[in-house]
């Protein structure tokens, strides 16, 4: 199954007098880019959280929001940071002297400066805390993955429809190409007879000219490769997982073949078909950017 890189998941659990809320949101990104916002009390789990997320996500820009509340008896203590308070006072005095300002600092003001007073948790069973947090993360990730799968199925259906249309355009080019050569031969033959009148036409020279023209506009190899790439993309959509990068490469190859056909084309119908083919390929490339 394929997954979209757009997803959302949220969970909220209360266990062991602790309340956790985890929310995940993601958009497409070339690689896995995780941004985590959580309380300081959980900062030492940053690496473990990232490893847990990798079990569910391989690509995308993911924003993770975690809240944590201890509902039991608090074991928190307040720590006074004397050295930092002293630094604040030193620079406040210096500012007053430099700018001619009144030095009016009060204890109540100083206490509000960052990190002068720090709330510290008492002894915590980190293993138990992690298990509870991990459970909340896993629940949110399960929902998150389901939304990605649902969106991925919509992407898959849309891409299959576009690929079928592209296959039809390739069939038209394949059917039209031999007719161009016959039309070219007829035009040359008519032109030569118009110029030479009743003079006998050198069929060998005429055949050589048509052969050279046919070789210049031949797109047989491009058609074979286009069909192969289209079939491969369909197969990956139906059977693959984490296929975004591979499909992006295949879309580039599809575009390369379409460009070659356009560069060789001398026929208006094939040129118009080639332009439509390139347009569809570009739509496919845009959709592929959203696949994990």
SS (H, E, C) 190-248: HHHHHHHCCCCCCHHHHHHHHHHHHHHHCCHHHHHHHHHHHHHHHHHHHHCCCCHHHHH
Residue 153 has a pLDDT of 93
144 and 156 share one domain: no
Residue 200 has a pLDDT of 62
Residue 187 has a pLDDT of 67
Instruction: Provide the 8-state DSSP code for 122.
Output: -
The predicted-structure confidence for 199-255, as pLDDT tens digits, reads as follows 565 566 666 665 666 667 677 888 899 999 999 999 999 887 788 889 999 999 999
**Do residues 208 and 248 touch, judged by C-beta distance below 8 A?**
no
Residue 111 has a pLDDT of 86
Domain that holds residue 105: 77-119
Residue 40 forms part of a structural domain: yes
156 and 250 share one domain: yes
Which 3 state secondary structure label does DSSP give 18?
A: strand
18 and 68 share one domain: yes
Q: Give every residue of the chain whose pLDDT is below 50, as ranges.
A: none
Residue 257 forms part of a structural domain: yes
136 and 213 share one domain: no
Residue 126 has a pLDDT of 85
The predicted-structure confidence for 161-172, as pLDDT tens digits, reads as follows 999 999 999 999
pTM: predicted TM-score of the whole model, two decimal places: 0.69
- Provide the domain count of the chain: 3
Residue 167 has a pLDDT of 95
Phi/psi at 37 (nearest 5 deg)? Answer: -120, 120
Which 3 state secondary structure label does DSSP give 88?
A: helix
Residue 106 has a pLDDT of 86
Which 3 state secondary structure label does DSSP give 133?
A: helix
Instruction: Provide the 8-state DSSP code for 44.
Output: G
Residue 1 has a pLDDT of 79
Residue 225 has a pLDDT of 93
Residue 266 has a pLDDT of 79
251 and 277 share one domain: yes
Distance, in Å, from the CA atom of 42 to the CA atom of 130, rounded to the nearest integer, reads: 9
Distance, in Å, from the CA atom of 56 to the CA atom of 34, rounded to the nearest integer, reads: 12
Residue 158 forms part of a structural domain: yes
54 and 169 share one domain: no
**Do residues 136 and 11 touch, judged by C-beta distance below 8 A?**
yes
């Amino acid at each position: 199954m394929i997954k979209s890189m757009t997803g959302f998941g949220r969970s909220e659990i209360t266990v062991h007098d602790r309340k956790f809320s985890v929310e995940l949101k993601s958009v497409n990104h070339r690689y896995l880019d995780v941004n985590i916002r959580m309380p300081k009390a959980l900062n030492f789990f940053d690496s473990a959280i990232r490893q847990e997320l990798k079990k569910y996500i391989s690509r995308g820009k993911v924003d993770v929001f975690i809240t944590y509340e201890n509902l039991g008896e608090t074991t928190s203590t307040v720590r006074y940071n004397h050295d930092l308070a002293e630094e604040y006072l030193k620079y406040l005095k210096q500012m007053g002297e430099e700018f001619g300002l009144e030095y009016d600092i009060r204890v109540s003001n100083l206490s509000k400066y960052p990190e002068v007073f720090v709330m510290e948790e008492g002894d915590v069973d980190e293993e138990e805390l992690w298990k509870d947090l991990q459970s909340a993360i896993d629940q949110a990730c399960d929902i998150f993955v389901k939304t990605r799968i649902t969106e991925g199925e919509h992407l898959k259906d849309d891409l299959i429809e576009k690929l079928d249309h592209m296959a039809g355009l390739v069939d038209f080019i394949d059917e039209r190409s031999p007719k161009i050569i016959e039309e070219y031969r007829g035009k040359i033959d008519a032109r030569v007879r118009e110029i030479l009148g009743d003079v006998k036409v050198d069929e060998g020279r005429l055949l050589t000219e048509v052969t050279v023209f046919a070789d210049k506009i031949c797109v047989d190899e491009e058609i074979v490769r286009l069909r192969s790439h289209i079939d491969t993309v369909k197969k990956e959509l139906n059977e693959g997982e984490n296929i975004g990068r591979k499909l992006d490469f295949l879309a580039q190859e599809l575009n390369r073949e379409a460009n070659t056909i356009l560069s060789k084309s001398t026929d208006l119908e094939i040129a118009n078909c080639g332009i439509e083919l390139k347009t569809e390929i570009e739509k496919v490339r845009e959709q592929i950017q959203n696949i994990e």
